[in-house]
Structure 1
Amino acid sequence: MNGTLESRLAAGEAGAIGECYHAHAPAVRSYLRKLVPPQDVEDVLQVVFTEAWRSGHRFDPARSLPAWLCGIAYKRAVDHLRSRAPATVPLEAVADPAGDDGRDDGDTLADRDRVRRALAALPDVQREAIELAYYGDLTQRQIADRLSVPLGTIKARTARGLHRLSGLLSPATT
């Protein structure tokens, strides 16, 4: 057990990685807390010291051991984050915006559902024109340009679609 920890680690001496872990794991753990979610810190820390043990022969004892370990930690944290599937939520599961008072109103939710069902009952071209106008916040001219359709056609589709929606949403049909 002659020499510094750095030289013993580079020489692959048995026990050097254990000493390295005890001496530097708290600092590497603290560094990893800035890079990965809290529940993943210990797993990535283990990967860092496993790699340090396997590649100790590449370490230059004249250089900074903590900096070398943090370099490994950074690379393994990036690998860990890249390997994770991005958290996605199905669009259908996303709630609609809350009402003016911050709460969802049961009647408002029911009305939204009725409108969605009524829109689904429209012919595709009419529904598309209405959705682009009301949900896409586009003018009829912008809709016509986007769909490469004459402005008069968009006006007719919108008018027919709104007339049909009015019939579908009237209290007599519910």
Structure 2
Amino acid sequence: MNETLEMRLAAGEAGAIGECYAAHAPALRSYLRRLVPTQDVDDVLQVVFTEVWRFRHRFDPSRSLSAWLFGIAHNRAVDHLRARTPTTVPLEAVADPAGRDGREDGDAFADRDRVRRALDALPDVQRQAIELAYYGDLTQREIADRLRVPLGTVKARTARGLHRLSRLLPPAAA
């Protein structure tokens, strides 16, 4: 009887997971490289194949094995990214600019306090993106690399945060 890899995997044949790994790991690794930091790809891939073996009874051998594998890989990559705690730069670590005459002036203190309170009202991910851009002087690409998130995510977080800040901060008097 000539059973397919799909049928042997679903049946729990011990050698099937090794064949599945040999056949599909390179493509899954390449896919995961686009989603998670490079140093985490092999860890996520291992979780994917552990889950494949653990939930093999859920796989329908008449369906696409690669589609099922890529679905699991995507879900584990998302879980991995959500579980990470991104690093932030605290506002207190950034030097305060001096006033026009080289000293701090009262208006600057008040403005800085208003901005800090408004930033504190933002969701953490939006505040973090804005702080890294404006206080950390990083480009959006550099922020994406530092936070290990897609560039589009940084752009969306920054835009949403700035929009929310515009509603929280009254216009400056001219």
Given the two structures, how large is their TM-score scaled by the length of structure 2? Answer: 0.58
Q: Distance in 2 between matches of 1:91 and 1:130?
A: 14
Question: Counterpart amino acid of 2:12?
Answer: G
Q: Distance in 2 between matches of 1:30 and 1:6?
A: 22
Q: In the alignment, is residue 17 of structure 1 matched against residue 1 of structure 2?
A: no
Q: Deviations over 1:62-103 (max 9, x none)?
A: 11111100000000000000000122111133467xxxxxxx
Q: Which runs of 5+ in 1 are unaligned?
A: 97-108, 120-126, 141-174
CA RMSD of aligned residues (A): 2.8
Q: Distance in 2 between matches of 1:130 and 1:3?
A: 74
Q: Which has the higher contact order (CA 8 A, sep 6+)?
A: 2
Do 1:17 and 1:53's aligned partners in 2 also have CA atoms closer than 8 Å? yes
Do 1:28 and 1:45's aligned partners in 2 also have CA atoms closer than 8 Å? yes
Q: In the alignment, is residue 7 of structure 1 matched against residue 41 of structure 2?
A: no
Partner of 1:69: 69
Across the two proteins, how many residue pairs are aligned to each other?
A: 116
Q: Distance in 2 between matches of 1:62 and 1:95?
A: 62
Relative to structure 1, the CA distance from residue 8 to residue 33 in structure 2 (aligned partners, 3 Å threshold; closer, same or farther) is: same
Given the two structures, how large is their TM-score scaled by the length of structure 1? Answer: 0.58
Q: Distance in 2 between matches of 1:47 and 1:115?
A: 56
Q: Which has the larger radius of gyration?
A: 1
What are the within-5 Å matches in structure 2 for residues 97-116 of structure 1?
111=98, 115-116=103-104
Identity %: 68
